[in-house]
Amino acid sequence: MTSTPARPPVAPGWEALLRPALLPDVLRQRAETEPDRTAYIFLDESGAETDSLTYRELYRRAHTVAGVLRAHCVPGDRALLIFPQSLDFIVAYFGCLYARVLAVPVQPPRRGQLQESTKSIVRDCRPAAALTVAERIEALRPAVDPLCSDARWLAVDALPMGDGGFDAEPLTPEALAFLQYTSGSTANPKGVMVSHGNLAANQEMIRHAFDHDEHSTFVGWTPLFHDQGLIGNVLQPLYIGATSVLMAPATFIRKPLLWLHAIARYRAHTSGGPDFAFAACVNHAALAGVPDIDLSSWRVAYNGAEPLRADTLARFAETFAPRGFDGRALYPCYGLAEATLLVTGSVPGAGPRTLTIDTEALHAGRVVSAGANTASRTLVGSGRVLPNEDVAIVDPDTGGLCAPDRVGEIWIAGDQVAHGYWENPAATADAFGARCPDRPGHRYLRTGDLGALVDGELYVTGRRKDMIIVRGRNHYPHDIEHTVHTAHPALRPGCGTAFTVDAPERLIVVQEIHRDHLETADPAALAAAIRAAVLREHDLALADLVLTLPGEIPKTSSGKLMRTAARARYLGDGFPRSR
């Protein structure tokens, strides 16, 4: 089997991790021992600092919020956090932790409208309070109040600074901390019940996996209501005592290279995002030129949350090497909300591992080295299994361990695995109560993701629910979607979906056209290029191809394709077709 070289030995100290501290205690200790140290900085669309928080300020403001919450809520009540990307969100989140009220971070409205997924979350959690900033309350109430008319509204930024005197009860690791709702990429969002012990365990895993200390400055732009933004860019810096520099997702979308400017300016050790973020930087550098910045401080450039592509990583490393970026800083990883965040991570400084395999064997569920004359696919590893957890590759039908060369479902056990789904015992039993006869005594989380463990490295191949089966062969939709959008420059990358309808043989593709090409592209030529590419690369004929307008493909708040929703829309009202 063709693979990149083995990783160096695991650093000493992994086998004897100390019991991690709970986050409310961590903040209290930092407010006492280093009160004036800057915890967070927020940048506007030009990169200017517009807000900051020291540990003392965060602690006092959080306790003020906690005191107000406890005047209207009881421990275990839920509180919506509906914020634009801002440091006020962090104050509200810690206020909920101290009040023992379960924070429910949700996506803020777009153009004044709540997303259907957000409405589903509100109905599911039945909040007793809704927290936001003063200027947003009047705009939010008409959309939110019909779903939870009894919720108490609280403008976090309008409260006077307290003295940190709120008397909170002692915490236990088993106590629930907050509800992290899933993205809803394959079903309605479900509220993952994350405990204080889950948070602490995962923070310790991240600290060791990323080789962090108090000097490991972060730069982040991913949404704070999403697990990667909250657990990774907010809670991990506080846990290790480092500074986190934050900006809005919209800022990154409009100016991807401003992200890299911030990394260089603040000498960041850690920063990252989904695969599309690295691709966007490369594309913008090709148009505007590579900025004159120094990226030599960037030691952990983590890449997760969507399929990893070897060509994206290679192009990014090549593009920014002249600016001091070391390709060995690229850090593929894997995680999900049900495991708090991180599950597997690379070795800092070792760079990504890749595996070149036979495509036909992969269709049959096997991982086999590609021969000289066989079609191949290069997988990017998502890192190694971390201490104090068990990751198993399991036959989803039998529950037994897969042979080393077989693709199976990824199952996880460990202290970071959450307690289940909020008020959903059936889904909790199905996802969190799995048993493997080959490893008795463990209760596993079934992730729904497919992959293989090769030489200690996890390779994620796709989602089980999204699998396309045609003539007995397995096809991963993201592979077909990648073939489609690379078939012609007029097609938008990451903005197409592949799925089947009626019968396994009816393969459907819906693909957006670039806005700049709507008037000039020939739909017949685009369709011919797509059909030829899919037939050539996958030996598949499309039953229908819909070329649609920009922005029509449904996505989650974190940018994941919602294939189930796309299929439902195709079978319902359909997508608008280009001319």
Per-residue pLDDT reduced to its tens digit, 58-102: 999 999 999 999 999 999 999 999 999 999 999 999 999 999 999
Is the residue at 286 inside a domain?
no
Give the pLDDT band (50/70/90) at residue 110.
Answer: confident
Q: Are 68 and 158 in contact (CB under 8 A)?
A: no
End-to-end Cα distance, the chain: 47
3-state secondary structure 355-376: EEEEHHHHHCCECCECCCCCCE
Is the residue at 529 inside a domain?
yes
pLDDT at 346 over 60: yes
| SS3 category, 111 | coil
- Type of residue found at 272: G
Q: What is the mean pLDDT of residues 520-527?
A: 89
Q: Are 71 and 35 in contact (CB under 8 A)?
A: no
To 5 degrees, how large is the angle CA 239–CA 183–CA 263? 45
Is the residue at 532 inside a domain?
yes
> Percent of the chain scored above 90 by pLDDT?
68
Q: How far, in Å, CA of 401 to CA of 412, rounded?
A: 13
Give the pLDDT band (50/70/90) at residue 163.
Answer: low
Instruction: Sort strands 244-246 and 218-220 into parallel, antiparallel or unpaired.
Output: parallel
Is the residue at 141 inside a domain?
no
pLDDT at 261 over 50: yes
Tens of pLDDT, residues 303-342: 987 788 899 999 999 999 999 999 999 999 999 999 999 9
Q: How far, in Å, CA of 500 to CA of 570, rounded?
A: 11
pLDDT at 16 over 50: no
Is the residue at 316 inside a domain?
no
Which residue in the block uniquely carries the two structure tokens 């199976």? 408
pLDDT at 57 over 90: yes
Compare 166 and 416 and report the one with higher pLDDT. Answer: 416
pTM: 0.86
Q: What is the mean pLDDT of residues 20-27?
A: 92
Which residue in the block uniquely carries the two structure tokens 């394709």? 561
Give the pLDDT band (50/70/90) at residue 7.
Answer: very low
| SS3 category, 338 | helix
Q: Please, is 46 exposed, middle or buried when counting C-beta atoms within 10 Å of its C-beta (0-12, 13-18, 19+)?
A: exposed
Tell me the CATH number at 499: 3.30.300.30
| SS3 category, 93 | helix
Could you tell me what percentage of the chain is helix, strand and coil, using 3-state DSSP and rounding each to the nearest 5? 35, 25, 40
Q: Are 23 and 235 in contact (CB under 8 A)?
A: yes
| SS3 category, 154 | strand
Tens of pLDDT, residues 504-513: 568 889 999 9
DSSP labels, 164-206: S---PPPP-TTSEEEEEE---SSSS--EEEEEHHHHHHHHHHH
What pLDDT is attached to residue 469? 76
Show the tokens assigned to 442: 């463990």
| SS3 category, 567 | helix
Give the pLDDT band (50/70/90) at residue 186.
Answer: low
Which residues are CB-neighbours of 527 under 8 A, at least 6 positions away? 545, 547
pLDDT at 12 over 70: no
Q: What is the mean pLDDT of residues 3-19?
A: 39
Compare 195 and 363 and report the one with higher pLDDT. Answer: 195
Give me Rg for the CA atoms of the chain: 23
Is the residue at 504 inside a domain?
yes
Enumerate the H helices of 460-521 as residue ranges.
477-485
What pLDDT is attached to residue 291? 96
Q: How far, in Å, CA of 2 to CA of 368, rounded?
A: 9
Describe the strand order of the beta sheet including 376-380 as a list of residue ranges: 2-3, 354-358, 376-380
pLDDT at 164 over 80: no
Q: Are 325 and 317 in contact (CB under 8 A)?
A: yes
Mean pLDDT of the chain: 90
Is the residue at 478 inside a domain?
yes
Question: Which residue, 276, 303, 260, is CA-closest to 43?
Answer: 260
Residues spanned by the domain of 499: 468-571
Give the pLDDT band (50/70/90) at residue 476.
Answer: confident
pLDDT at 245 over 80: yes
Give the number of other CB atoms < 10 A from CB of residue 18: 7
Q: What is the dihedral of CA 255, 479, 307, 548, to 10 degrees?
A: 40
Is the residue at 70 inside a domain?
no
Q: How far, in Å, CA of 441 to CA of 430, rounded?
A: 17
Q: Are 333 and 208 in contact (CB under 8 A)?
A: no
What pLDDT is attached to residue 465? 82
Which residues are CB-neighbours of 378 under 8 A, at least 6 positions away? 310, 354, 355, 356, 357
What pLDDT is attached to residue 165? 65
Give the number of other CB atoms < 10 A from CB of residue 104: 27
Number of domains forming the structure of the chain:
1
What pLDDT is attached to residue 203? 97
| SS3 category, 284 | helix
What pLDDT is attached to residue 5? 38
